[in-house]
Amino acid sequence: MAAEAKPQILSHVNNLNYFSILLLLLSFNVASGAGGTWRLLLNDVGISAMHSQLLINDRVIMYDRSNFGPSKISLPSGACRVSPNDVVSKRDCTAHSIEYDVAFNSIRPLTIESNTWCSSGGVTPEGALLQTGGDKEGERKARMFYPCDDESCDWTEVDNALYVRRWYATNHVLPDGRQIIIGGRNQFNFEFFPKTKAPSLYKLPFLSETYDAGQENNLYPFVFLNSDGNLFIYANNKAILLDYNKNTVVKTYPKIPGGDPRSYPSTGSAVLLPIKNLEAEVVEMEVLVCGGAPKGSYLLALYKNTFVKALDTCARIKINDDKPQWVLEKMPRSRVMGDMILLPNGHVLLINGGSSGSAGWELGREPVLNPDLYHPDKPVGSRFQVQNPSTIPRMYHSTAGLLRDGRVLVGGSNPHQFYNFTDVLFPTELRLEAFSPSYLESQYWSIRPRIISLLSHSTVNYGGILRLRFMVFGIGGVRSPVKVTMVFPSFTSHSFSMSQRLLVLDHVELVRIGVWTYEVRVKAPKSKNLAPPGYYMAFVVNQDIPSEGIWLRLQ
């Protein structure tokens, strides 16, 4: 397909406080308390959000599969498209992707031409969304979405962008800005986008070694970029450190305690915990894996209508240790198909999912309505804090993602082959809601920082000094150390947020320059292995209370 002109990417957001205004104006459908606040944003967005990605213009792209009949939102201007592999109709006049505008709490339909079912993606250094793979006619395609200031931007498709079918694969952004695409159904290999010249496809025996016959349990592997430039890859119950340039396994980690699978369809989730002390000779990198389903749960649910209680444990491992070992700890509850989101203050939010069964159509039970907040720096046994519940089950095909204002956007849930709203345990979910962690509550107004410079979308150089001016208006004041964190916007699907990482920047100096005004000086990451190039949300954190973020481009 011929390359199309790229719409201009948003260069500036003039009013950094519109999120604060929005939070005050939207006062309907609120459930609140000491454990965060839930708010229904829209009652019907037209599609179930199987995949989502926040972009640098503070709009969120969401999409579903596109071959199962009509959605509940029409394509713009009465348009229709031919859908050759649609199981309902070959002519479809509805949209299967939307753009959600956070500031205006509104949506608009987008046009996807081919099937994006159970695909993967990530953002480019320029801030565009790259989406790869899918099913049927979409299995080897790539799709690009370039954010713009108006409503002129839409999806473009690149034919034969991939060497093999990519369905249930994982992407990760690399230090050179490319993306690696790993695995997928019956694909025990990896490749790159853009394509490399020969060799173009790289075998990865680890994926066949972690394959369970009849169950798989190795799809959507958890992938994280290590500080040495290698990739930590977790699938089923095992993990390796891969030098993808040489296609060599440089470290094999112990099997996770208990040996139960935590990859799709026994779906747990995972995060790379906040990266600190960035100037250290060896930076400590620690992975946290939570939830999943005991081995055999998928088959019991599929063939015996028996729904086994999900796993109720997390496991942490310091991947750069000489002799790394998993450390197991209990969660407040069992959870399968949950999402894990890094919050701006370095805490981890566990949200969505069920407490029995597995991923797959009709295979999950007992929705988990309460999120759990995880404090990584507290002692084992005191790390979890139960949050207030939603009223909406978020089962298979749900998503969650961090917004720049600190809220977590939650959507999706469709455990059925088609959209089904009646006479089922968990109807297809078209509602969109937001969870506000307790740091957004009004009682913290007096210590919440408000960034006044740099301007959003400023550029920061690797290893440079970053100066952020902020104001704190209340008597609570500023207490050192004030932290600056940077969060990479992740692509979320099937309970895993791809390329998600949070960096705590090394502190240089905190200076008071006015009655309410301060300047914090920190050092930007020096290595692309620590922070791949691109746009990050930057936050000032005072006494565990984060500011609203600003977009910064690291290059």
Contact 551, 489 (CB under 8 A): no
Nearest to residue 244, comparing CAs of 233, 231, 263?
Answer: 231
**175-178 long-range contacts, CB within 8 A, separation 24+:** 175/225, 175/229, 175/527, 175/528, 175/529, 175/532, 175/533, 176/528, 177/124, 177/125, 177/532, 177/533, 177/534
555 residues of the chain, pLDDT tens digit each: 333 334 334 333 333 444 443 443 333 344 434 699 999 999 999 999 999 999 999 999 999 998 888 999 999 989 999 888 887 888 999 999 999 999 999 999 999 999 999 999 999 999 999 999 999 999 999 999 999 999 999 999 999 999 999 999 999 999 999 999 999 999 999 999 999 888 899 999 999 999 999 999 999 999 999 999 999 999 999 999 999 999 999 999 999 999 999 999 999 999 999 999 999 999 999 999 999 999 999 999 999 999 999 999 999 999 999 999 999 999 999 999 999 999 999 999 999 999 999 999 999 999 999 999 999 999 999 999 999 999 999 999 999 999 999 999 999 999 999 999 999 999 999 999 999 999 999 999 999 999 999 999 999 999 999 999 999 998 778 988 999 999 999 999 999 999 999 999 998 899 999 999 999 999 999 999 999 999 999 999 999 999 999 999 999
DSSP codes of every residue in 262-280: -SBTS--EEEEPPB--TTS
What token pair was written down for 492? 């979320």
Nearest to residue 288, comparing CAs of 214, 332, 216, 349?
Answer: 349
Q: Are strands 372-374 and 269-272 parallel, antiparallel or unpaired?
A: unpaired
The SS3 of residue 446 is: helix
Measured distance CA(298)–CA(456) in Å, rounded: 46
Nearest to residue 269, comparing CAs of 174, 398, 384, 387?
Answer: 398
Residues in the chain: 555
Instruction: Supply the CATH classification number for the domain 37-440.
Output: 2.130.10.80
C-alpha dist (Å) from residue 209 to 163, 222, 238, 496: 22, 15, 9, 21
Contact 109, 72 (CB under 8 A): no
pLDDT of residue 179: 98
Contact 401, 487 (CB under 8 A): no
Question: What residues does each domain of the chain span?
Answer: 37-440, 446-554
Measured distance CA(540)–CA(555) in Å, rounded: 20
Q: Which residue has the tokens 């701006």?
A: 344
Measured distance CA(493)–CA(133) in Å, rounded: 13
Measured distance CA(525)–CA(279) in Å, rounded: 8
Measured distance CA(375)–CA(273) in Å, rounded: 10
Measured distance CA(334)–CA(379) in Å, rounded: 21
The SS3 of residue 246 is: coil
Q: What are phi and psi of 301, to 5 degrees?
A: -70, -40
Measured distance CA(167)–CA(184) in Å, rounded: 5
Nearest to residue 495, comparing CAs of 249, 347, 329, 310?
Answer: 310
pLDDT of residue 34: 60
Contact 153, 97 (CB under 8 A): no
Q: Which amino acid is at 386?
A: V
Contact 142, 124 (CB under 8 A): no
Contact 146, 9 (CB under 8 A): yes
**Residue 4: partners with Cβ closer than 8 Å, 6 or more residues away:** 156
Sign of the torsion angle spanned by Cα atoms 329, 335, 336, 341 = negative
pTM of the model: 0.94
Contact 264, 494 (CB under 8 A): yes
DSSP codes of every residue in 51-111: EEEE-TTSEEEEE--SSSS--SSBPGGG--EE-TT-SS-SEE-B-SEEEEETTTTEEEEE-
Contact 65, 77 (CB under 8 A): no
Contact 491, 121 (CB under 8 A): yes
What token pair was written down for 110? 């987008």
The counts of H helices and E strands in the chain are: 3, 45
CA atoms within 13 A on the CB side of 100: 28
CB atoms within 10 A of CB 5: 7
H or E element in which residue 300 lies: helix 297-304
Measured distance CA(123)–CA(307) in Å, rounded: 37
Q: Domain 446-554 maps to which CATH number in 2.60.40.10, 3.40.50.300, 3.40.640.10, 1.10.10.10?
A: 2.60.40.10
Per-residue b/e over 225-249, b at no fewer than 16 CB within 10 Å? bbbbbbbbbbbbbbbbbbebeeeee
What token pair was written down for 133? 């793979």
